[in-house]
Amino acid sequence: MAILKIARMGHPVLLRKCEPVADPGAPDIRRLVADMMETMEDAPGVGLAAPQVFQPLRLFVFRVPGGRATSDKDDTQQPNTVLINPTVELLGEERELGWEGCLSIPDLRAAVPRAKRVRYRGVDCDGQVIEREASGFHARVVQHEYDHLDGILYPMRMTDFRYFGFNEELNRATAAAQAAAQS
């Protein structure tokens, strides 16, 4: 296993439409998935798509840590998961703003509108079908990672650039607002 180098915004690999994976069980794909899981955990991040490690293939890994899950039944903790050749279907018209970061856009985060509910489907390296409905943070992570496979980065989804900033500044502003609210 290995920690992989992560492409940063501006590198053309992040703007490509990725190619389907011909054989999800091939040894090189299994190795790539294992390395991507390790790279995601090391970063640390909650998702990583193949183009972010310079492989323009339709696969991504993700997880939902316990601390990010909400009370919704489709927004529960998810272990490290790979989705190969995935599809994502938006369910309903409801959209919500939520904060997102990206390992290819270090130190920044933004509020991005996403569908509240989705259904996703893909296979793992053993060809097992993974099909789930997701909401909230779980749905957001999957939509963000899926976008990478079509060359879309979260700033391209933004509607209000006031909610875009450096983590350090946003954390400071949040702490100041909380202190003011408590005094």
For residue 136, give both structure tokens: 């909230």
Q: Is 108 in the site for Ni ion (CB under 5 A)?
A: no
The β-bridge relationship of strands 78-102 and 59-64 is: antiparallel
Compute the least distance from the CB of residue 156 to Ni ion, in Å. 11
Q: Which is nearer to Ni ion, 54 or 175 (CB)?
A: 54
The conformational region for residue 136 under phi > 0 = left, psi -120 to 50 = alpha, else beta, is left
Binding to Ni ion (CB under 5 A) within 109-148 occurs at none
Size of the site for Ni ion (CB under 5 A): 1
| Binding flag, residue 21, Ni ion (CB under 5 A) | no
- Which residue is listed with tokens 């309903």? 92
29 binds Ni ion (CB under 5 A): no
**Active-site pick, 133, 145, 168, 169:** 145
Residue 62 near residue 78 (C-beta atoms within 8 A): yes
Q: How far is CA 42 from CA 31, 39, 46, 103, 120, in A?
A: 16, 5, 10, 11, 26
Neighbours of 5 (CB within 10 A): 10
Min dist CB 14 to Ni ion, Å, is: 9
SS3 16: coil
**Using CB under 5 A, which of the segments 15-23, 36-44, 98-106, 160-168 binds Ni ion?**
98-106
Rounded to the nearest whole angstrom, what is the least distance from the CB of residue 47 to Ni ion in the complex? 6
Known active-site residue 168: no
| Nearer of residues 84 and 146 to Ni ion, judged by Cβ | 146
Q: C-beta of 182: minimal distance to Ni ion in Å?
A: 34
Give the contacts of 85 (CB within 8 A, at least 6 positions apart). 20, 21, 24, 58, 59, 122, 123
Among positions 82, 102, 110, 118, the unique one binding Ni ion when judged by CB under 5 A: 102
> Could you give the residue numbers annotated as active site?
145
Q: Contact residues for Ni ion (CB under 5 A)? A: 102
